[in-house]
Amino acid sequence: MAEEINEPAYKAQLKKDTLQLLIRKGIPVSKVESIYGWLDANAMSHIRNTDCVWTFPEEDVALEESEVETFGDTFNGNRIDTVTTAYFASCTCGAFPEVPLRLETTLSDLLIDLFKWS
């Protein structure tokens, strides 16, 4: 006989694990994006060089998969990357509130990474 799944608990755990993956691997997005890059270097440096970490609020975190245009090279032009962005993280000290965290991956690849499927 199959074990019954507690759907609300399962969804809550999946959301928590997904956000933890974004905290570990996500890149902070600058408020001013351009084709030359979207990394918020100040926020990234802050997280790397202090004891501060990213956190997400308990509720109201949105995940979005989208395509962004980035600079490829001078001769071949720009490229289109698929990204997954989580809105919004904040650092624990409050120096960088409401920062989107982004991974260069599709949402489905993010879930594969989460479950470590091959």
pLDDT, average across residues 22-30: 89
- The answer as to whether 107 is a domain residue is yes
Note down the domain range covering 81: 8-115
Q: Does 97 have pLDDT greater than 90?
A: yes
Burial environment of residue 56 by CB neighbours within 10 A (0 to 12, 13 to 18, 19 or more): buried
104 HSE (CA, 13 A, CB side): 9
Q: Does 118 have pLDDT greater than 70?
A: no
H or E element at residue 9 = helix 7-25
- pLDDT for the residue numbered 2: 57
- The answer as to whether 3 is a domain residue is no
Tell me the whole-structure pTM to 2 decimals: 0.78
- The answer as to whether 43 is a domain residue is yes
The answer to whether residues 12 and 1 touch, using CB atoms and an 8 Å cutoff, is: no
Q: pLDDT exceeding 70 applies to what percent of the chain? A: 92
Per the model's pLDDT, the better-predicted residue between 47 and 22 turns out to be 47
Report the chain's mean pLDDT, rounded to a whole number. 84
| Structure token digits, residue 75 | 């001769």
The DSSP secondary structure of 28-89, one letter per residue, reads: EEEEEEETTEEE-HHHHHHHHHSS--EE--SS--EEEEEEEEEEEETTTEEEEEEEEEEEEE
Indicate the number of domains in the chain.
1
70 has which bridge partners?
79
Between helix 7-25 and helix 107-115 the angle, nearest 10°, is: 100
The answer to whether residues 23 and 101 touch, using CB atoms and an 8 Å cutoff, is: yes
